[in-house]
Structure formats: structure tokens, C-alpha cells
Amino acid sequence: MKYFITGTDTDSGKTLAASAILIAVNNHARNQNKIISTLGIKPIASGCEQTEEGLRNSDALSLISAMNSEVDYQTVNPISFEPAIAPHIAAKQVGFELTADKVEAVFRQIPQADFTLIEGAGGWRLPLNDGKYLSQVVEKQKLAVILVVGMKLGCLNHAVLTQEAILADGLEIAGWVANHVDPDMLQQSENLAFLKNAIKAPLLGVIPYLADASVERAAEYLDVSGLL
């Protein structure tokens, strides 16, 4: 099983949801007395920090902590940039051509696992340097998509438009997660009710606003049985 996880925008909480899904899958398998290998991949990441071992991205490190496959960092995050800006702009700054062909090569080299989650960067239409989008690579791979909706003002429009784009690309939305990123969002229940009706895919869970952003706690609010 292999899924691509995207969000309604950059701050939707994709990594929290992705890491929580990996932990929830591990827990579900354990409860079923099964052994299942889980793998998280962050093909492209901006906002990385220089370390003695090279560039490291907090999103990729979160996935590594949540999965149970033992792979090196470069496998999880093969394309990384230090500036915390759009990847295609960061790539130009360092003289790297972030093309669809290079990203497709990354997808082809992903190791085998029973459950693989590939986390995008930004929203669905992430630009690449050759005039294409990351979504076109996902489309070519024919991956089912998990959508993370960052629950805040404006999310209804973002969610509906993202769903329309994914479906227009001929891909299936395997499920979606409502992630409360704004503790002060007004009419939360009414907004959630709209999304439940508007998004034509199973709701995997509603993650409340978590001040400590604990991945383990977030996993408790998810039902991943439909993904397995």
C-alpha cells in the first residue's frame, strides 16, 4: 500500500498527520497481532538545517521517528534545501534543476514496504523548475491521495479546490484528515460539517488543536483501518 499525502496549504499540518498515520498503522497492526513494515518519504524539503551529517529537515526526521523501516536519511529525504522558501526557488538559488524527471527517479527508488506514505511539500500544485508540478509526478505514479485540511479561516475554499484538482487529475482520494491548526477558529463544528459533506472520501479522523503537537496523541484520533 502506497499513498501520497498532501495538504490544503503549507501550514495544514501534513507532517503531524503523516507521522500520526504511520504510528496509527503500526498500532493497528500490533493490535491485530500482525507485523507490518511502515515507511515515510519526504522527497523534497525546504527549510533544512545544516548539521555535521549534512542538511536535515524536521519533517523528514518526524517521519523517521514514526515509521519502523530502517533506512538512511538520504532515502527518506533525497532532495533538500536550506532556505525556508518554495523548493523550486530554493533549487535555483543553489543551481539545482528541480525537474519532474529527477523527482520521478526518486519515486522509482523508494524501497519496498507494506505501508508507504509519501509526503509532499506545500499544497497540491507545488511548482517544479521545468514548468511542471509535483502533482503531475504523483498522477503519473497513479497514487491514491490522503488530504490534510488545516482547519482555519479559508479552509473550505482550499479544501474544495484541492479536491477538485486531485479528482480532475484522475486520482482517488483515499481519505482525509481534519487538523485543527487554529485554536481560535470560529464555528469549528459548522465548518467540519460542511467539509464532511463536501469531501467525497472517508474521514480518517479529526485532530484537535494540540499545544504540544504530540504525534502520539494525534494518532489516537485517527482510524486508519480503511487504508489497510
**CA separation, residue 83 to residues 31, 75, 94, 104, 179 (Å):** 41, 21, 10, 23, 26
pLDDT in tens, 17-43: 999 999 999 999 999 999 999 999 999
Element (H, E) at 47: none
Q: Is the pLDDT of residue 212 over 90?
A: no
- In angstroms, rounded to a whole number, what is the distance separating the alpha carbons of residues 93 and 87? 10
Q: Report the SS3 class of residue 133.
A: strand
**Which CATH number covers residue 26?**
3.40.50.300
**Residue count (the chain):** 228
Contacts of 35 (CB under 8 A, 6+ apart): 29
Identified catalytic residue from 2, 14, 34, 42: 42
Q: Sign of the CA dihedral 68, 74, 76, 81?
A: positive
Predicted pLDDT at 221: 98
Predicted pLDDT at 46: 96
Total structural domains within the chain: 1
- For residue 104, what are the domain limits? 2-227
42 is catalytic: yes
Residue 213: which pLDDT band, with cuts at 50, 70 and 90?
A: confident
- The one-letter amino acid code at 161 reads L
